[in-house]
Chain A
């Protein structure tokens, strides 16, 4: 059943994300300034930054929910509005339980609805019920999340963690090429986190993943690169696990310091951003596996 979700083949020719000179402000606050980022297909990016730094806004720009004031965004070589049927999106979990008269499977099935920015593709929308193939896909995704048993349950009666897994299933059901996750692990217990990270790593073989996270401890061994969001955006093309991100997260300035955490040998430090941008383009990833082994 993993195979069913992993049907996409990774094309390396088209960039997953190509952001050029993007500036964006929301109600007077400049959130992104002259941002240039390219993300290859197949990457697994952790998006980090302090509260209110615009991580969620960044995802919404990619989804075409906001338009940049300046610059261009290309997702899989297309305008965000055109590409959105290839994106699976998991929004930040709304706080508090929400009463709503729908079953879990109905919510997952809504992830199959797609449009071109104006009209929905009518096949997925017309008619009161879904075809069996779609239902099977939805059940497979719920099974991947380990909550197939909840399919007929009311979404209002779920716990925070269960709802989060439902929303993840909804993001996956369309078998997207890019997966945008906004704090996917926020309400999920430690045991399940490990399982879900392994699942994401599995999915990463066929889809690019961008994951917003607050919790630096969660940056798992599967992550390939790190994106720091402030008014400027820094892209580290390597995942460094033992960095003092709490300090980075506390900083509001234009810089993003990632420093050494004193355990784990060898220590790994991300350089200052200016150094990193010089190194950009070099593949540091191959060092990663050796380091992980020595870390044990």
Chain B
């Protein structure tokens, strides 16, 4: 076992995969925390699935995939953000509409693209073993931007998440904060698509933050714990997938899901929180 691990780690593609996995863990842990505390899991799922339109656009135009998907997702997240803000009583309906429309656009654009693309499945279910050095650079920059923005606007995001109406009463344009948060979600989703695929993205955005929330008492420690958990899930998932020759995305999700179900009723919070 040790030998096969050492052998695995000597391959460049495995190293790339692990590097990409850790970067996806950082983005999904931090932004997943904000998604969970703002109760916008369905919203983030909508952005993730609508990103399929961006993949179709990239194939149709021949543009580089990740930047194209990022641009498309930023637009669709802004659209979802504006529609959900205007009709807040029917938020989930609006998300459902854009979720389906984004995917439909992607399917039609791929229909119109000459030739058949085998690579398509990798965007749906992850293709971490085919991460290129270009992808790595792109992910690193996105990670840097997301981490910087969350650290810079930490207090604003905390206040928004706790009580957005109070923030509006203090004279803050909460629609802008909402759109800002949606854009952060879009960037993180695009980064994570490479690792687990857009269908499975939501698992990384929900399971680790949920467990982290039970074990911690502040937003930043919840983010930190979620990043650590996601790093463990993704690293373990990639290694298991390599050893047993399985799909990396699905393996990661099952590792995370098994851990999630096993620890659901444990509360280590008792041991390291002053006031459980």
**Residues of the B chain whose Cβ atoms lie less than 8 Å from the Cβ of A109:** 155
Q: Give the distance in Å from the alpha carbon of A115 to the alpha carbon of B153 in the complex.
A: 14
Question: Are B213 and A101 interface neighbours, CB within 8 A?
Answer: yes
Which among B165, B170, B176 is the interface contact of A113 at CB below 8 angstroms? B170
Question: Are B171 and A116 interface neighbours, CB within 8 A?
Answer: yes
Q: Give the distance in Å from the alpha carbon of A128 to the alpha carbon of B168 in the complex.
A: 21
User: Is A120 interfacial (CB 8 A cutoff)?
Assistant: yes
Q: Give the distance in Å from the alpha carbon of A152 to the alpha carbon of B216 in the complex.
A: 13
Question: Which residues of B in the span 75-128 have a Cβ within 8 Å of any Cβ on A?
Answer: none
Q: Which of A83-91, A276-284, A288-296 contacts B (4 or more CB under 8 A)?
A: A83-91
Question: Are B162 and A154 interface neighbours, CB within 8 A?
Answer: no
Which among A60, A100, A128 is the interface contact of B155 at CB below 8 angstroms? A128
User: Is B37 interfacial (CB 8 A cutoff)?
Assistant: yes
**Residues of the A chain whose Cβ atoms lie less than 8 Å from the Cβ of B161:** 100
Question: Are A110 and B171 interface neighbours, CB within 8 A?
Answer: no
Chain B interface size, as a band, is 20 to 34
Question: Which residues of B in the span 148-175 have a Cβ within 8 Å of any Cβ on A?
Answer: 151-156, 158-159, 161-163, 165-173
**Residues of the A chain whose Cβ atoms lie less than 8 Å from the Cβ of B37:** 100-101
**Residues of the B chain whose Cβ atoms lie less than 8 Å from the Cβ of A102:** 158, 162, 218-219
Q: Give the distance in Å from the alpha carbon of A125 to the alpha carbon of B151 in the complex.
A: 10
Which among A60, A119, A155 is the interface contact of B173 at CB below 8 angstroms? A119
Which among A103, A120, A152, A170 is the interface contact of B166 at CB below 8 angstroms? A170
Which among B153, B162, B176, B222 is the interface contact of A110 at CB below 8 angstroms? B162
Closest B residue by C-beta to A85: B171
Closest B residue by C-beta to A119: B173
Question: Are A85 and B170 interface neighbours, CB within 8 A?
Answer: yes
Question: Which residues of B in the span 163-200 have a Cβ within 8 Å of any Cβ on A?
Answer: 163, 165-173, 176
With A102-B162, A110-B163, A154-B217 in contact, do A115 and B170 touch (Cβ < 8 Å)?
yes
Q: Give the distance in Å from the alpha carbon of A64 to the alpha carbon of B154 in the complex.
A: 25
Q: Give the distance in Å from the alpha carbon of A179 to the alpha carbon of B145 in the complex.
A: 39
Number of A residues, CB within 8 Å of B: 43
Question: Are B170 and A154 interface neighbours, CB within 8 A?
Answer: no
**Residues of the B chain whose Cβ atoms lie less than 8 Å from the Cβ of A107:** 162-163
User: Is A7 interfacial (CB 8 A cutoff)?
Assistant: no
Question: Are A101 and B169 interface neighbours, CB within 8 A?
Answer: no
Question: Are B216 and A63 interface neighbours, CB within 8 A?
Answer: no
Provide the A75-113 mask, 1 if CB < 8 A to any CB of B, else 0: 000000110110101010000000111110011011101
**Residues of the A chain whose Cβ atoms lie less than 8 Å from the Cβ of B171:** 64, 81-82, 84-85, 114-117, 120
Q: Give the distance in Å from the alpha carbon of A155 to the alpha carbon of B275 in the complex.
A: 11
Provide the A102-144 mask, 1 if CB < 8 A to any CB of B, else 0: 1100110111011111111000111111100000000000000
Q: How far, in Å, is A33 (CB) from chain B's closest CB?
A: 24
Q: How far, in Å, is A171 (CB) from chain B's closest CB?
A: 9
Question: Are A63 and B169 interface neighbours, CB within 8 A?
Answer: yes
Question: Are A89 and B169 interface neighbours, CB within 8 A?
Answer: yes
Closest B residue by C-beta to A121: B171
Q: How far, in Å, is B37 (CB) from chain A's closest CB?
A: 6
Q: Give the distance in Å from the alpha carbon of A125 to the alpha carbon of B213 in the complex.
A: 23
Q: Give the distance in Å from the alpha carbon of A119 to the alpha carbon of B174 in the complex.
A: 9
User: Is B220 interfacial (CB 8 A cutoff)?
Assistant: yes
Q: How far, in Å, is A111 (CB) from chain B's closest CB?
A: 8
Q: Give the distance in Å from the alpha carbon of A119 to the alpha carbon of B152 in the complex.
A: 15
Closest A residue by C-beta to B221: A101
User: Is A65 interfacial (CB 8 A cutoff)?
Assistant: yes
Q: Give the distance in Å from the alpha carbon of A129 to the alpha carbon of B220 in the complex.
A: 11
Q: How far, in Å, is A151 (CB) from chain B's closest CB?
A: 11
User: Is A8 interfacial (CB 8 A cutoff)?
Assistant: no
User: Is A157 interfacial (CB 8 A cutoff)?
Assistant: yes
Question: Are A125 and B162 interface neighbours, CB within 8 A?
Answer: no
Provide the B20-42 mask, 1 if CB < 8 A to any CB of A, else 0: 00000000000000000100000
Which among B156, B163, B213, B219 is the interface contact of A91 at CB below 8 angstroms? B163
Q: Give the distance in Å from the alpha carbon of A170 to the alpha carbon of B275 in the complex.
A: 22
**Residues of the B chain whose Cβ atoms lie less than 8 Å from the Cβ of A117:** 171, 173
**Residues of the A chain whose Cβ atoms lie less than 8 Å from the Cβ of B219:** 101-102, 106
Q: How far, in Å, is B14 (CB) from chain A's closest CB?
A: 35
In the A-B complex, the 7 residue pairs with the smallest Cβ-Cβ separation, listed nearest first, are A110-B159, A115-B171, A84-B171, A115-B172, A63-B169, A125-B156, A128-B154
**Further contacts, 19 of them, CB under 8 A, given A113-B167, A115-B173, A127-B154:** A60-B169, A63-B168, A63-B169, A65-B165, A65-B168, A89-B170, A91-B163, A91-B169, A101-B219, A106-B162, A114-B171, A115-B170, A118-B176, A119-B176, A120-B172, A124-B155, A154-B273, A154-B275, A174-B170
Between-chain CB contacts (< 8 Å), 30 pairs: A60-B169, A63-B169, A64-B169, A64-B171, A65-B165, A82-B171, A84-B171, A85-B170, A85-B171, A91-B166, A99-B213, A100-B162, A101-B216, A101-B218, A101-B219, A102-B158, A102-B162, A106-B162, A106-B218, A113-B159, A113-B170, A116-B171, A119-B176, A120-B172, A124-B155, A128-B151, A128-B220, A130-B155, A154-B273, A157-B275
B residues with CB within 8 A of A: 37, 151-156, 158-159, 161-163, 165-173, 176, 213, 216-222, 273-275
